[in-house]
């Protein structure tokens, strides 16, 4: 499955200019108006730290615990991937990738219907992601990030993977009822 040239329908990147002063900087990740316009209600904020080469993903939660995610790299630089798992979508099985880094202060909005993953490109990365549903073990799934069908060209060849991710199923091995209509 190829990379999609540009952003797949439903995905978006937001960027807020930071305000700098002698102390450092401040920027707004999102506000109430953004949440209302996108019909979002975040219920959990997750923070992860990863070392260079680490891949986390490709993860998603199925209905009824599917999650919208707003992902921001607050330290370092990552390549972030959203994989379309909407069975009726013309881009099913395609993915979009976005570079997120602390200097751009950009966020990647990934709605329900997509698997998510990223690779850390700098020695240390800190990622913040807001989610619209709490974690659900029963509804949580993983696609192996080195799935040969997806053929994702991760920028760093020295991969650091969790056991869960490295043992994840390929996309064609998953029960399609765990995908989205």
Contact 133, 67 (CB under 8 A): yes
Rounded-to-integer distance, Cα 181 and Cα 176, Å: 10
Annotation says 94 is catalytic: no
138-159 residues labelled b (16+ CB within 10 A) or e (exposed):
ebebbbbbbbeebebebeeeee
| Choice among 59, 94, 116, 135 that is catalytic | 59
| Choice among 116, 129, 135, 141 that is catalytic | 129
Residue closest to 180 by CA, chosen among 136, 97, 115, 133: 115
Residue 180, strand partner residues: 86
Annotation says 116 is catalytic: no
Active-site residue set: 59, 129
């Amino acid at each position: 499955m190829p990379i999609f040239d540009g952003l797949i329908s439903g995905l978006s990147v937001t960027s807020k200019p930071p305000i700098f002063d002698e102390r450092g900087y401040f920027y707004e990740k999102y506000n109430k108006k953004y949440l209302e316009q996108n019909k979002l209600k975040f219920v959990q904020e997750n923070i992860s730290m990863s070392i260079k080469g680490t891949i986390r993903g490709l993860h998603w939660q199925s209905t009824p615990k599917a999650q919208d995610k707003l992902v921001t790299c607050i330290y370092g630089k990552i390549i972030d991937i959203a994989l379309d798992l909407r069975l009726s979508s013309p881009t099913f099985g395609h993915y979009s990738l976005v570079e997120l880094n602390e200097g751009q202060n950009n966020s990647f909005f990934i709605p329900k219907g997509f698997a998510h993953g990223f690779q850390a490109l700098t020695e240390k990365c800190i990622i913040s992601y807001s989610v619209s549903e709490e974690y659900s073990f029963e509804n949580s799934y993983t696609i192996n990030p080195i799935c040969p069908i997806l053929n994702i060209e991760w920028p760093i060849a020295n991969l650091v993977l969790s056991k869960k991710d490295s043992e994840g199923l390929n996309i064609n091995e998953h029960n399609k009822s765990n995908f989205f209509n």
